[in-house]
Amino acid sequence: MSAETQTTAGEPEQQAPEPSRSRQVLREIAESSSMVVFMAIVASMIIGGVLIILADEAVQESAAYFFSRPGDTFAAIGDALGAAYSAMFNGAVLNLQAESFAAMIKPFTQTLTMATPLIFAGLGLGIGFRAGLFNIGAQGQILMGATFGAYIGFAFSLPWGLHLLLAVLGCALGGALWGFIPGVLKARTGAHEVIVTIMLNYVALYLVAWLLSLEAFQREGSDNPISPLVAETAQYPQILGVQFNLHLGFLLALACAWGVWWLMERSTLGFRLRAVGANPSAARTAGMSIGAATIITMVIAGALAGLAGSAPVLGTQKYLTDAVAGSIGFDAITVALLGRSRPLGIVLAAILFGGLQASGPSLQVNAGLPVDIVVVIQALIVLFIAAPPLVRWMFRLPSPAHEKEVAA
């Protein structure tokens, strides 16, 4: 821990002489004060480490006789932390104990696989944030997308290519529908989208639970609420061969990231959405329709979240359950916040959080730690990033000339 704090102390000087950059995207990254982001991650890792130490049995036992032999306690602390962080690295980046090259890089492909739904959903939420809408409903949109996509996937038999295309479109449609409802309610009645989307998450959950109790969605010969397997023609092909889980959905997610960048930065529609988000009154005065912008934003955001639902049902899990969305919807909020709602930032943030999640099994097996520690670290990172002054105060960083407004 002390080593980490020392390295950080030297870095403010490196940040200072940065000249102004011409490229928009690069400037965004710099202005999001990458220093704060980096420090927030470091701080969260440190706090995560403290929790690991607190919960470690060997540390607790040796701490009982701390004053007679403090060395034991420090050794136990070192062991606990070493085991945890090496398990994380082995589980998310490179497996150094592996014999073959394929097994060695498998963790990183797993990270990218886990990042895929987070990229999709994070992009959707990011568009919402930039248009001034706080969409908490990704969870429900993912579920509905997954339901539509899975149904097309297992109920029909269609030729290769076409089947996958229709299933993917089905996912987008399901999510878009679930995004349209809060959008139209906000535009027509002013109902606050935060409340409506939270409530729709639960409506979607129970709707899917009900659907899975119907014969049309039930797997034959199973009493559990799970759907049949999605037909092979509708599954995402595995792009690195069968020994890796990484599927075509990842490339589609990257393509969507580019598409969202183009939409928001280069198109008239994107300009309108951003204008409405930045200053609704000014946008209205300029003749833009706030209601239309709201509906369009929510539909696009919902469609992207719905595509996030395609990652489990068409890519990894390949069938529908009511738990298919996991916690992707809420994780995606943290991804969008960490990525400052910009496509490149979201892709990087999704890979970071995908890595944290991919390291879960390894943490469990190699370090005996529950996966929940990952959730804690993830939440801490976002909490710190949301409050740059706090991070600057913690690490005694200089404050910038002008403060940028945090998300939404």
Partner 1 sequence: MTATVADAPAAAASNAPIPPKKFGPAIALGVIALLSLVIFGLGTASGASTTFVIARPTDFFKIPSFTLPSQLAAILLSVVGLALAGWTAYRANQRRKVGLWVPVVYGMAIMGALLTWAGAGRDATSIQLTGLLTSSLFLAVPLVFGALAGTLCERSGIINIAIEGQLLAGAFLAALVASMVGNPYVGLIAAPIAGALVGLVLAIFATKYWVNQIVVGVVLNMLVLGLTSFFFSTVMTENGDLNQPLGMPKLAIPLLSKIPVLGPVLFNQNLLVYILYVVVAVLQIMLFRSRWGLRVRAVGEHPKAADTVGIQVNRTRVRNTVLGGAIAGLGGAFFTVASGLAFGKEMTAGKGYIALAAMILGRWSPRGALAAALLFGFADALRAQLGAIGSPIPSQFLAMFPYIATIFAVAGLVGHARPPASEGIPYKK
Cα–Cα distance list, 316 to 114, 151, 273, 324, 364 (Å) = 9, 16, 34, 10, 21
- In sequence order, what E strands does 236-329 have? none
Q: Which CB, 10 or 190, lies closer to partner 1?
A: 190
Kindly state the smallest distance separating residue 118's Cβ from partner 1, in Å: 14
- Which long-range contacts link 36-39 to residues 24+ away (Cβ below 8 Å)? 36/385, 36/388, 36/391, 36/392, 36/397, 37/338, 37/385, 38/11, 39/8, 39/384, 39/391, 39/394, 39/395, 39/397
Kindly state the smallest distance separating residue 109's Cβ from partner 1, in Å: 26
Cα–Cα distance list, 18 to 14, 36, 399 (Å) = 8, 15, 15
- Give the three-class secondary structure for 244: coil
Q: Which CB, 9 or 50, lies closer to partner 1?
A: 50
**Residues ≥6 apart with Cβ < 8 Å to 194:** 134, 136
The tokens for 322 are 């009511």
Q: Which CB, 123 or 208, lies closer to partner 1?
A: 208
Kindly state the smallest distance separating residue 348's Cβ from partner 1, in Å: 19
Contact 212, 322 (CB under 8 A): yes
Kindly state the smallest distance separating residue 246's Cβ from partner 1, in Å: 26
Kindly state the smallest distance separating residue 378's Cβ from partner 1, in Å: 7
Cα–Cα distance list, 274 to 100, 119, 329 (Å) = 48, 20, 23
CA 58/CA 251 separation, integer angstroms: 44
Using CB under 8 A, list all residues that contact partner 1: 51, 55, 57, 134, 136, 185, 189-192, 194-196, 198-200, 202-203, 206-207, 209-210, 213, 330, 333-334, 337, 369-370, 372-380, 382-383, 386-387, 389-390, 406-408
Q: Which CB, 69 or 192, lies closer to partner 1?
A: 192
Q: Which CB, 166 or 323, lies closer to partner 1?
A: 323
Q: How far is CA 228 from the centre of its chain?
A: 27
Neighbouring CB atoms inside 10 A of 52's CB total: 21
The tokens for 368 are 């005996």
Q: Which CB, 53 or 264, lies closer to partner 1?
A: 53
Kindly state the smallest distance separating residue 369's Cβ from partner 1, in Å: 7
Kindly state the smallest distance separating residue 149's Cβ from partner 1, in Å: 21
Q: Which residue has the tokens 């996030």?
A: 308
CA 218/CA 154 separation, integer angstroms: 11
Contact 306, 176 (CB under 8 A): yes
Kindly state the smallest distance separating residue 359's Cβ from partner 1, in Å: 14
Q: Which CB, 136 or 347, lies closer to partner 1?
A: 136
Q: Which CB, 246 or 369, lies closer to partner 1?
A: 369
Kindly state the smallest distance separating residue 187's Cβ from partner 1, in Å: 11
Q: Which CB, 45 or 200, lies closer to partner 1?
A: 200
Kindly state the smallest distance separating residue 84's Cβ from partner 1, in Å: 12
DSSP H or E run through 232: none
Residue 400 identity: P
Q: Which CB, 20 or 189, lies closer to partner 1?
A: 189
Q: Which residue has the tokens 């980490």?
A: 4
CA 300/CA 283 separation, integer angstroms: 20
